[in-house]
Amino acid sequence: MNRYESTGHLLLTPVDREAPARAVRLRELGLGERPDPELDAFAARVARRLDAPYAGVNFVGGERQFFAGLHHAPQAPASAYPARVLARDHGYCPHVAVRRSALVLEDVRDFARFAGNAVVDESGVRSYLGAPLTDRRGIVLGTVCAVDVVPRRWGTAGLATVKELASELVALFHAREDRRP
């Protein structure tokens, strides 16, 4: 059973008991503290594969989220989204991390828990697709996600694609780790 804490929004942010272990693991891997050009390129690939205006590689901390990889299409509507750093109660990636499973929201306004999220009101986010990045130790490091400002039918193909991309990205993290002295 998930426990949730009130954040002052309609959204209830899940309690993240794995955050301390995740922080240690991210430090070990050198992830989550600065923009990473390779992860920016990966986010652009996610956006292309899913035909989405926004995509990211996000690492969820105890108090904030950091998009080490971020992409927005040049023709995407101007807004405060995407930002490299978001509060933990903004967006949907913290839910993916705690649930340890993918999340598909074709229209976030269809779900009371998600409709009142600040990214809806402040940034115009209307749909979300994200999958966890689970490393070889079983720790969810963060998420790979795609976002749109209009409702989207991601479908089973979109879900399969985001999971496949998450798997590829975790393999990249493992290869980086294996090359370290």
In this structure, of 12-16, 127-131, 170-174, the range with the lowest mean pLDDT score is 12-16
pLDDT digits (tens, 9 = 90+) for 101-118: 999 999 988 877 776 666
Tally helices (H) and strands (E) across the chain.
Answer: 6, 8
Backbone φ and ψ of 140, nearest 5°: -80, 110
For residue 78, the 8-state DSSP code is P
**How many other C-beta atoms can be found within 10 angstroms of the C-beta atom of residue 20?**
11
What structural domains and CATH numbers belong to the chain? 13-179 (3.30.450.40)
pTM: 0.87
Q: Which amino acid is at 21?
A: A
121: pLDDT confidence band, cut at 50, 70 and 90?
low
Q: Which amino acid is at 49?
A: R
Q: At 116, is the secondary structure helix, strand, or coil?
A: coil
pLDDT digits (tens, 9 = 90+) for 25-61: 999 999 988 999 999 999 999 999 999 999 999 999 8
Average pLDDT over residues 124-130: 89
Tokens 């115009």, residue located: 124
Q: What integer pLDDT is reported at residue 1 of this predicted model?
A: 38
Cα gap 172→178, rounded to integer Å? 10
Q: What integer pLDDT is reported at residue 113 of this predicted model?
A: 75
Which CA distances in Å does 89 have to 39, 81, 121?
23, 15, 13
Share of the chain above pLDDT 90, in %: 62
Distance of alpha carbon 40 from the chain centroid: 13
- Mean of all residue pLDDT scores within the chain: 86
Q: What integer pLDDT is reported at residue 71 of this predicted model?
A: 94
Q: What integer pLDDT is reported at residue 75 of this predicted model?
A: 67
